[in-house]
Structure 1
Amino acid sequence: MTERNHKLTEENVKGDNINLRKFLAKYDRESDYRCFSGIGAYLVAFIAISFSLFQLYTAMFGVLDAHLQRAAHLSFGLALVYILYPTRRSWCRNSMHWFDALLAVVATSMPLYIIVFYKDLVMRSGIVTPTDMVIGVLGVFLVMEAARRVVGWPIVIVASVFLAYAFAGPNIPGVLAHQGVSLKHLVGHLFFTTEGIFGIPLGVSATFIFLFILFGAYLEKTGLGKFFIDLANAVAGWASGGPAKVSVLSSGLMGTVSGSSVGNVAGTGCLTIPMMKSLGYRPQFAGAVEAAASTGGQLMPPIMGAAAFLMAEFVGIPYINVVKAATIPALLYFIGIWICVHLEARKYGLKGIPRNQLPQVGKLILERGHLAIPLVAIIYLLISGYTPMRAALWAIGLTILAAMLRSSTRITLNDIIQGLEKGARSALGVVIACATAGIIIGVVTKTGLGLKLSSALIDLAQGQLLPTLFFTMISSILLGMGVPTTANYVITSTIAAPAIIQLGVPVLAAHMFVFYFGIIADVTPPVALAAFAASGIAKSKPMETALNASKLAIAAFLVPYIFVMSPALLMIDTTFTQVLLMIATSVVGMTGVAAAVSGYLLTNARWPERILLFAGGLLMIHPHLQTDLFGLSLLVGGFIIQRVRYGWEKQSRER
């Protein structure tokens, strides 16, 4: 980015008195932490670095038994959460309250109890003693309280409802009734087995996810984020509506390493939104572009907000297959936003940034292109058959080595140590969200709620696929509101996915369907955290920004229906030639849909033309020859009408 653009961004941000961390704290609980100095800072650094070193050690020399690995992982996480996040938001952020210090010690001790008495617990195998009961109840409560502090109320409320359901089963009428669970059995199931808090979500967090977050922390240390933004400026900044296209491209690239829609908005939006506004974009549209693009970052392979690893475990397929399946839908999502942005720019005559004020692609790649080597390497390693944990381990080492290739990007020993601390702190939201999601899964497996809910949804839809998909979509959006990516996927896949699986939809397609709609809750009113965060930077009306973001994210509302009905879009049972054809027809289809949503193609589109373009685009996205031909004919018809009207309007202006 040029010096002019840096100054422009800085003036906008400083002029509006935006402090990035305070701004993030308003929308993202994970950013509302204490900032210690002196002994407190050293204590946090020591625990966080020890956490990262523990994870690296077990990755290199072999993980512990599942329960032990997960218990140690959670113990570190709880210690840091209770030290860094105060009980009340009004409490001081510069010092430690005695109550939080006490809770930190108690919370850390709960998982340690499992480690210390592991052999006794295994020998007793399901027999819960009075001491176990106290530990288990405290453990469940303190995990949920940690979730309230670092993740927010939504996931705590969902988990509380499930716990209430476990006890109230006999008193619930209808299909959701069950025989009930005693406190003793529920505590034993949730805390002393690997079916609850220490279940698959926390297991994946304790192995794959932590290392990828640590990998992301080191990528950030090397300056890869700034390289992505500068590269996006060089590639697209000059084009019509350039700053908005920069937002789409940079947010997509950042999504490969980011695990938060709101964090992505703050990371790139503070640069791209002021640029968009300065060149004439409406504030609500500028905020919407950033929100929709940042949310799409959670759908972008290879990491998908860390949900890709959970999906591989839940579905029971190799991780690389999840990445392959997610590629075309994610590309369609970003292509849809890109086209909408281009049409908006053409509609209002918005120009790009002059080329002489932008960085040069060749120079950027020569100076900082080596920073992307670890990203290329990790994809190669995953394709080559390395486990995600081993691939992430190598990628961390390659990130440090790649940064050393040039003096301008070289990181010091202090940077390496700080990376260990930052990686651990960045993982806290995921650790606690996965543990809390384990409570939900534990209740589902103990009560059989998953099958009951799916049966209820199917009955409501009278056994028809499309109505069931619609009800599942609504359920996923509601369940995903205000919940971070990993927990979002765990909840929606556990509760909503079984309904459409029962109707014969492939398991991967079903899981991808609920994942998409859970994620899109970040831009869907009434919660729309990513859109509200973007509106804070853009100084726009939050609800208008959310509605604009929902329109830009139209692909996320359409594509999941398509890949459920035609799994070939997920590269299931298809060929390379078919994949290329699907991409080509889908891009044409997304152009039609984007034109319909924007109300502009060659000129302002009237409603009949918009309906024609939307229907044609939708049919083109559906990967079948008959629908492609019919859709193409509708799009050609819409284009001809637009072309004729454009000619008439041009002649009228010339007169």
Structure 2
Amino acid sequence: MSHTDIDDHDEGLDLAKRMAEEEEGIGRRPKGPSKWVIPTVCVAWSLFQLSIASWLILDTTYIRSIHLGFALLVVYLNYPMFKTPLLGLKFLAAKNRIPIIDYAVALFACFSALYIAIDYEGMTLRYGDPIVRDIVIGLALVILLLEASRRVIGPALPVIAGAFIIYAFAGPYMPDLIAFKGVSMNRFVGQMTMSTEGIYGIPLDVSATIVFLFVLFGSMLDKAGAGQYFIRLALSLLGGFKGGPAKAAIMGSGLTGLVSGSSIANIVTTGTFTIPLMKKVGYPPTKAAAVEVAASTDGQLAPPIMGAAAFIIAEYVNVPYVEVIKAAAVPAFASYAALFYITHIEASKLGLRGMPRSELPPFFKTFVGGLQYVIPILVLLYELIVVRHSPEMAAFNAIWIMAIVMLLQRPIQAHLRKEPIGPAVKLAIKEIFSALAAGARNMVSVALATAAAGIIVGVVALGLGQLITAIIDTLSGGNIFLMLVITAVASLIIGMGLPTTATYIVMASLTAPAIVEIGGFNDFIVPLMSAHLFCFYFGILADDTPPVGLAAYAAAAIAKSPPIPTGIQGFMYDIRTAILPFMFIFNADLILHEIYSWPQGILIFVMACLGNFAFASATQGWFVARNKIWEVPFFLAVTLSLMRPDLIASLIGIPHDQRYWTYLIGLAIFGLMYLVQRPRMPKADTVATAA
């Protein structure tokens, strides 16, 4: 590798790391004594969250307001108003100090969030009839929350929330189709800032009670070194297979999804290792980056930890979190299996081989060397799935076990290396406090997204719900298929500017009830869980959707590939995920709705995987040889028959309870396509020469 290549790679890696830092909440790096202000506030926030999960009992409204208060305090201390100076006013973009004005705004923003807790009894008595002080502080909270969201998340969420606020007041003056009776200032402030129906709604409650603990647990795993362990473990297992580094990237990203809910942070953690290795074995830079984008984006899909939105789904649908895990399991693992299959296809097209075993870490030594990271994760899974404790209790128990691991890990390693124990103990304590601070930083975007999206939910709750359903029904002409396409496209567009959690909240509050209701108009029952997972999936897919697709920019920076083609290639890989929501809307078997038999569940999973493989072959142009154009409809037929056995059964007159027999049709067509393409299978040396 030339010096220029090394410099380019380092520059790309630096850009990706800067993007990850922005995503993870590192905005300013003050110098002098003020450098301790933000970490101290963040550690205090983490300790508060651990307290309410263990010994501190507070009313839910108090918890939500304190949670939001901490988030606003961190934002205004940590993020300058602008990234570059405006009109020569350098303090508006100061990154190496915290200006006095930001201290003042931070304290007032925190106070405005805490106001409902400070005067809780008084506000309860005058709900619906706020005094001037309530209105002034309430409006200040709305404005400061939207500004904080702009600083952290970008302008999209404040603009959308602002549009809903304007609509709430201007409703009576709108055209007849979208006319709305409107609200008064008193009702608006009461709904948004004096009740738990707006800013302090269910999304913020989930952020405050559950999500923070899972994000903190992920930060502790990350600081302890679990991310590096997962990718080394994946390489030791899969690196030697055809296209091995790409398969290792998928496994490593899936495991790192336990550590990080951010697709960009996932890319920086795993892609730093896997993208250069993929390029080394022969993947073009664009495809190497796109594989990492697709794998890291889907890290939020994999149960049992699926990002903040999954916990909010449980609250909205009013089911235990384990039911969300159950519903998400088949689509998520089928999606990952299909991505493994796609990397195999790409390796076959290019005639690639795996890495020599001599260059890979030894599996047993690697596995044993990181067992300390596996223990807290197993505890978390045991608590969630077997004992079925609440998510917050499961996360809290995993956190204190993780803290013990972090406290003992460095001293034991120092002892084995025959080094002094004292410095190792100090390092361990420093890492724990660093994880507490990082967990709070990582939570800022989630807390603000849930609070700001609460404004939209609150406006909808003011009476817009039925109107929105009617508007969507009119736009779709009452057609459930068109309705789903509109929802998917809207999710992708909104998701270009919003994090997954905010996209999900906005789309679910607007469209999930409409999907269920319009399904009913078509004499078709759509489980509420299906509708919410539909919004969730397309919110995630927005992460790599061009032209924005920030995840694609991060991976492209590491691979030195053009970002837009990388995003397009990543989206082409993710099409196999995009069909799954359409399938489980119409075939609730895929989310194991009312499926309680293990053999039945496994059958559905295997067929979903094969159906997704067939779809991947149709979209990637390759099965065991390059497809001919006339073969593509056959692969799509396989997909339909294996993912919609109910539809095939109804078409050929088989009773619904016998629908699984139609799987044989799809399997027969798939087998036939193998026999058709087998004579065209290229030999390894031929493909390598062509590549």
Matching residue within 297, 308, 311 for 1:309: 311
Distance 1:647 1:231 in 2: 32
Distance 1:86 1:299 in 2: 33
Q: Is the Cα contact below 8 Å between 1:328 and 1:583 reproduced in 2?
A: yes
Q: More displaced, 261-270 or 557-566?
A: 261-270
Distance 2:315 2:267 in 1: 29
Matching residue within 388, 391, 397 for 1:388: 391
Matched with 1:157 is 159
- After TM superposition, list the pairs within 5 Å mapping 1:348-359 onto structure 2: 348-359=350-361
Q: Is the Cα contact below 8 Å between 1:457 and 1:472 reproduced in 2?
A: no
Matching residue within 234, 237, 259 for 1:235: 237
Distance 2:23 2:258 in 1: 22
Distance 1:110 1:371 in 2: 40
* Residue 392 of structure 2 corresponds to residue 408 of structure 1: no
CA deviation string 1:229-285 (max 9, x = no partner) = 001101111111111111111111111232212222222222222221222211211
**Amino acid across the alignment from 1:73:** H
Distance 1:187 1:652 in 2: 67
Deviation of the 1:374 alpha carbon: 1.0
- After TM superposition, list the pairs within 5 Å mapping 1:437-448 onto structure 2: 437-446=453-462, 448=463
Deviation of the 1:544 alpha carbon: 1.3
Matched with 1:143 is 145
Matched with 2:634 is 612
- After TM superposition, list the pairs within 5 Å mapping 1:227-306 onto structure 2: 227-306=229-308
Matching residue within 657, 665, 679 for 1:644: 679
Q: More displaced, 525-534 or 383-392?
A: 525-534
Tell me the SS of whatever aligns to 1:483.
coil
Matching residue within 501, 515, 525 for 1:486: 501
**Amino acid across the alignment from 1:360:** P
Distance 2:553 2:643 in 1: 30
Deviation of the 1:542 alpha carbon: 2.0
Tell me the SS of whatever aligns to 1:103.
helix
Matched with 2:10 is 14
User: Measured at CA, do residues 270 and 648 of structure 1 come closer, stay the same or move farther in structure 2, by a change above 3 Å?
Assistant: closer
Matching residue within 589, 597, 609 for 2:611: 589
Q: Is the Cα contact below 8 Å between 1:9 and 1:275 reproduced in 2?
A: no
Tell me the SS of whatever aligns to 2:14.
coil
User: Measured at CA, do residues 460 and 23 of structure 1 come closer, stay the same or move farther in structure 2, by a change above 3 Å?
Assistant: closer
Deviation of the 1:650 alpha carbon: 10
Distance 1:652 1:190 in 2: 62
Tell me the SS of whatever aligns to 1:386.
coil
Deviation of the 1:101 alpha carbon: 2.1
Distance 2:55 2:39 in 1: 24
Matching residue within 506, 523, 527 for 2:544: 523
CA deviation string 1:562-581 (max 9, x = no partner) = 11111111111112111111
**Amino acid across the alignment from 2:671:** V
Q: More displaced, 88-97 or 622-631?
A: 622-631
Distance 1:627 1:264 in 2: 40
Q: More displaced, 77-86 or 160-169?
A: 160-169
Matching residue within 429, 433, 453 for 2:445: 429
Tell me the SS of whatever aligns to 2:53.
helix
Distance 1:606 1:290 in 2: 28
* Residue 578 of structure 2 corresponds to residue 557 of structure 1: yes
Distance 2:131 2:50 in 1: 35
Deviation of the 1:67 alpha carbon: 1.5
Deviation of the 1:323 alpha carbon: 0.8
Matched with 2:335 is 333
Matched with 1:547 is 568
* Residue 620 of structure 2 corresponds to residue 577 of structure 1: no
**Amino acid across the alignment from 1:579:** G
Distance 2:122 2:676 in 1: 77
CA deviation string 1:74-101 (max 9, x = no partner) = 1111111000000011123111123322
CA deviation string 1:25-76 (max 9, x = no partner) = 6xx5554500123321221122111111111111112441121111111111
Deviation of the 1:651 alpha carbon: 11
Deviation of the 1:148 alpha carbon: 0.4
Q: More displaced, 334-343 or 450-459?
A: 450-459
Q: Is the Cα contact below 8 Å between 1:204 and 1:310 reproduced in 2?
A: yes
Distance 1:425 1:638 in 2: 52
* Residue 398 of structure 2 corresponds to residue 419 of structure 1: no
- After TM superposition, list the pairs within 5 Å mapping 1:91-240 onto structure 2: 91-240=93-242
User: Measured at CA, do residues 368 and 271 of structure 1 come closer, stay the same or move farther in structure 2, by a change above 3 Å?
Assistant: same
Distance 1:649 1:309 in 2: 47
Q: Is the Cα contact below 8 Å between 1:8 and 1:275 reproduced in 2?
A: no
TM-score (norm 2): 0.89
Distance 1:420 1:443 in 2: 35
Distance 1:19 1:196 in 2: 37
* Residue 651 of structure 2 corresponds to residue 635 of structure 1: no
Distance 2:354 2:311 in 1: 39
Distance 1:12 1:650 in 2: 32
Deviation of the 1:652 alpha carbon: 13
Distance 2:686 2:257 in 1: 45
CA deviation string 1:586-634 (max 9, x = no partner) = 2222222222222122221121123322331332233542542232232
**Amino acid across the alignment from 1:40:** S
Tell me the SS of whatever aligns to 2:453.
helix
Deviation of the 1:403 alpha carbon: 4.2
**Amino acid across the alignment from 1:242:** G
**Amino acid across the alignment from 2:526:** V
Deviation of the 1:176 alpha carbon: 2.3
* Residue 620 of structure 2 corresponds to residue 598 of structure 1: yes
Matching residue within 66, 80, 83 for 1:72: 66
Q: Is the Cα contact below 8 Å between 1:154 and 1:482 reproduced in 2?
A: yes
Q: More displaced, 280-289 or 12-21?
A: 12-21
Q: Is the Cα contact below 8 Å between 2:335 and 2:577 reproduced in 1?
A: yes
Matched with 1:568 is 589
**Amino acid across the alignment from 1:550:** F
Q: More displaced, 138-147 or 93-102?
A: 93-102
Distance 1:373 1:18 in 2: 33
**Amino acid across the alignment from 1:69:** I
User: Measured at CA, do residues 572 and 10 of structure 1 come closer, stay the same or move farther in structure 2, by a change above 3 Å?
Assistant: farther
**Amino acid across the alignment from 1:67:** T
CA deviation string 1:312-334 (max 9, x = no partner) = 10100001110111111110111
Q: Is the Cα contact below 8 Å between 1:70 and 1:198 reproduced in 2?
A: yes
Distance 2:353 2:173 in 1: 63
CA deviation string 1:166-210 (max 9, x = no partner) = 111111223321111122321221011111111111111111011
**Amino acid across the alignment from 2:461:** T
**Amino acid across the alignment from 1:496:** T
| Percent identity over paired residues | 38
User: Measured at CA, do residues 355 and 538 of structure 1 come closer, stay the same or move farther in structure 2, by a change above 3 Å?
Assistant: same
Matching residue within 464, 467, 484 for 1:449: 464
Q: Is the Cα contact below 8 Å between 2:219 and 2:260 reproduced in 1?
A: no
User: Measured at CA, do residues 434 and 10 of structure 1 come closer, stay the same or move farther in structure 2, by a change above 3 Å?
Assistant: farther
Distance 2:565 2:13 in 1: 23
User: Measured at CA, do residues 627 and 476 of structure 1 come closer, stay the same or move farther in structure 2, by a change above 3 Å?
Assistant: farther
CA deviation string 1:461-494 (max 9, x = no partner) = 3323222222222222223222112212211110
TM-score (norm 1): 0.94
Unaligned runs of 5+ in 2: 85-92, 415-423, 520-524, 646-658
* Residue 504 of structure 2 corresponds to residue 495 of structure 1: no
Q: RMSD across aligned C-alpha pairs, in angstroms? A: 2.5
- After TM superposition, list the pairs within 5 Å mapping 1:7-46 onto structure 2: 13-14=9-10, 16=12, 18-24=14-20, 28=22, 30-31=24-25, 33-46=27-40
CA deviation string 1:477-524 (max 9, x = no partner) = 223222112212211110121121112310111100111112111122
Deviation of the 1:400 alpha carbon: 2.0
